[in-house]
Copies of this chain bind each other. A is one copy, B any other.
């Protein structure tokens, strides 16, 4: 179902405010079968009250059994079908380090590697060279000059860096050059369609000059290129929902994802308290606010159950400060589950609550996985959440006569 095509003609504007308060990786698992999850263990009086007054459910980010990355996880919450709207790996990597992609850009994930005298790869990841050693090498590669194209090189971490080629007529469909093996040379960049031919030629020249610039380096003297991707073309929040939307996030990845759907990125908060201050300062200017809280995911990824519980309590503690502003629709959810028992993103459905005046309350007594299972939203694909938000905000007209 194309939800955008369905709702776009129904959108109406009014003065309501919608807050989507996202705890990254919110869903979890108990430490023992039959025990409580992180969210169920945490003391979350504010979310529990909203669960009683609002309507709960479990969000399926992409499809049953599918563990999403941050890209598809957030696109789903934003109401963009995550299977239809794929963000290329290069574009996501650039987004993740805060690089603002333009319409003429092709982003590439690059790996430093080592090659021998014959040009054959000896280590595909340059021995996972330390970031302090690789960053200056990446910066050195800014010296590469190719006529007709602007080139950006940004360090990421260890052997990884990002290249962005900017210029007219650059297609993003070029195959990876990592041969996935040692003892052979890197592959030449090959365009998979005519519109990406120029990109492939530029990439080839980039690698040639890079080898010159890295000549004599023992830890990293070449590079491979992967995940070529043009800026994904997504309709904006304004276009699809008629919403003037803003994102308040600490980490570049989530700012970048919000920017891709046309949200304004507000402030430069480093803490949740600062994020709330930014929210207050901008309350009058926007219809929709996406507030991103990272640490429920990072503690889950660390496999630290207790730390995730603590971070969940921190997330809960900020709720009253948001409610003081009297949003018409308040949503608490996650982009996916990150159970500390798995120390990774998982496929488990994500606890979700929606509070609004006419939301039709259910019997849920607290905010947690088990309670949400008997919630009024049922189990639903994340891409429907924005439709529910708009409906509860009185921003959707009737479908059909």
Contact = CB atoms under 8 A, between A and B. Distances in A.
Interface string A387-401: 111111000111111
- The prevalent SS among residues of A at the interface is loop
Interface string A128-144: 00000000000000000
Contacts of A189: none
A172 interface: no
Contact of A63 (B3, B58, B379, B398): B3
A92 B370 contact: no
A241 to B, nearest CB: 12
Nearest to A363: B370
Contact of A391 (B67, B69, B83, B358): B67
Interface residues on A, range: 35 or more
A165 B388 CA distance: 40
Given A360-B369, A399-B68, A387 B63 contact: yes
A347 to B, nearest CB: 4
A64 interface: yes
A65 interface: yes
Interface in A61-75: 62-73
Interface of A: 1, 3, 6-7, 10, 29-30, 33-34, 53, 58, 62-73, 82-83, 86-87, 89, 92-93, 339, 341-342, 344-349, 358, 360-363, 369-370, 373-374, 376-380, 384, 387-392, 396-401
